[in-house]
Structure 1
Amino acid sequence: MIPKSLEALSYLKYLNLSFNKLQGEIPTGGPFTNLSAQSFVSNRGLCGVSRFHVQPCKRKSGTSSLKYVIPGILSAMLLVISIIWLVMLRRKKNVEATIETTYLPQPLYRRVSYQELLSATNGFNVSNLLGTGSFGSVYKGTFSDGVDVAIKVFNLETKGAFTSFDVECDMLSNIRHRNLIKVISCCNQNDFKALILNYMPNGNLEKWLYSQNYSLNMLQRLDIMINVASALEYLHHDYETPIVHCDLKPSNILLDDDMVAHVADFGIAKLLGGGDSMTQTMTLATIGYMAPEYGTEGIVTRRGDVYSFGIVLMETFTRRKPTDEMFVGEMSLKQWVANSLFADAIVEVVDTNLLGTQKDPKFVSYNVCFSSIMRLGVACCVESPKERITMQEAVATLNKIKIEYVKEVW
């Protein structure tokens, strides 16, 4: 039960009791007058006023049972009328090209129409374009109440776009983790499909690594990679059915106001189901980041994501893309880093923006930290999938590296 005594907390402004097993009536006095339905999501036993989007509370009364029978009959009649109306409406939609908006299974932030999306993006103006990907474009949108969102519009002429839309709707409507992008709603009609996502004002990791006007210090990069590793650990080990992202890269790692990383773009993600691997015929991952077994045989496993994570980890601290022109023939980002570790020359591959001078008393600590990070990156990218570490081990290692770094440098 939610204690009614909470109504007396006059300074209470924020309260989120979502995803618990609470029951009984939601209080309405005091601070509860300013709370919305978002504070009580997924508590099936709760009841109260309609604005909380819960069932009304049953009131005990000694009066005639007619007070219960008549409303029941009226409700049944209303239900039948509603079903008939919905059937007629669906038939009408097959004839007329009316807009259909599909809402995800969980309670959503708001209802969004196609016209609202047009208005929020100035008609999907190029000035609102945040970026383009394999299956479409992402626009920044601002609703009439001032709320900013990211709107991913799918290019339906692209092969696999319909499947990608369905995959992302299914995946992102059910998974919940602070380091995974959140879907607000989903607009679906015959010639238009879009996801409405939380807007990430600091863009993606790729921008912060390669744009001249942006820079990340050592601790920021460590925190970002811990965020990403935590998201993958959740997908691989903590969700009811293991999920493989399949396309991890810096452009799919988005940063919020506080520079917290959120993994995005689940367009080709896979549910592993009962097995530990699966095979697909069409490879859609990005060159340079995909695991060898995925690129050559289409074998999808959690260890494939581990490989991609290792590449992104090394790229984040070297500021070198795996497709850099310096990597030709047998030389690759992984091999370049491994060679530097073997020669005890890790400073030669680390991003110069992170290096101090050798006279710096903390230089040795930096060197030890860089070596630990690069060894982890190489361990993630071992050729044989069976010999790669897991994301659970990667998270534990990164957290240990951060603790040691903070202790020695700060």
Structure 2
Amino acid sequence: MTDSIIIIGAGAAGLMAARELVKAGNKVTILEARDRIGGRIWPIPENKFGYPAQGGAEFVHGEARVTKSLLKDAGLTYIPMEGEMWSFRDGKIWKNDAGTANDEPLTAYRDELDARLRELSEDMPVAEFLEKYFNEEKYEGLRTWVIRMAMNFDAADPNRISTFSLRDEWLGGKEWLQGRIKEGYGALLDFLESECRKKGVEIFLNCETSLIEENPNGITVTTKDDKKFEGSKVIVTVSVALIPSLKFIPEIPQKMKAVSKIGFGPIIKFITQFKSRWWLNALGKDLSKMTFMLTDGKVTAWWTQYPESHPVLTGWIPGRFALEFENSRDEDIIELGIKSLADTFKVEEKMIRDEIVASKVFNWPADPFARGAYSYSAVGAEEAYLELRKPVNNKIYFAGEALASAKETATVEGALLSGLEVSREIK
């Protein structure tokens, strides 16, 4: 038997687990299918957009204690979010002084919605919840608002996402905290990679796993190009959408059943750099402090880099809208963005085209090594999380943003925490 631990995936969870395991004296090998580390963290060179742009994860959510501890170790800078959130819907624009809590479709029935959520004793998909309790015509605006919020923030299918999970988000009583890393998530992962390599972790890129085989001596991992790696244990950190594509011998039907109960949301994100910040006084408003602009179109949100003055807007296409454009050309997605900006800010499309300096699309559902952006809690997911956190014969472990034990799933903090937790279980 070899005492080497094999980690599949060099994203946040894999690198965090490797760092902790090698510090404890273990020999660690990481196999990464991509030609880069990072997974769903995709840093863009600063010379592309004039700042450390992020094609994948960008924001730091919640208290993020593990993330902030690492930032301190790495000498990186956490910046709390500033600025204003705006909404454009049905031809009207307004500033959300209380986040999305003052949206008209919500405020009219907020007390009634909160009461129904608190009274709910059996979980159900949010679409079913709305149909059961808010199916009258007067609630049409509320139904649309709830479904768009589930899609915007959770990238979720309303026919799958757990109403209990949304209740926890909306009525949990926690302050909505969000920030950024000044140097970007890429700098944080570069730090983790450096820590790993200094301690002797081997990282193999362009090394796509196809088979994980348990045997009396431990684990054999076989790659698509038929390379074999032997170890005593393996930690699988790929996205939950990719786990079913891996072959396990012997089969692990309980784990696969658990995976099927976890939702995984599609997101298309695209970054566009302009010659100027042309939107600052659009619509007769002072948008100089705008951070987010929520819309009622298929590009459901735009955001800036405020308080930095970069002439850049990031577009966000979530959920079923992302699936609609999954197989589209990047040029068609950029064209959708141009039409969205023209409609939202009431400017000519030609002006926007003339202003564009550079654009880049990050189509996560079309990415073969992600097949989506991040997880969400479908009905029955809580039991699934517990099942996937249990190792198979103390040889096969799972980790990733979906599997953190705290309420940090679907975030980089969740991935880091999950990697930390699984390393502690092993060492």
The structure richer in helix per residue is 1
| Bigger radius of gyration among the two | 1
- State the TM-score bracket (shorter-chain normalisation): under 0.3
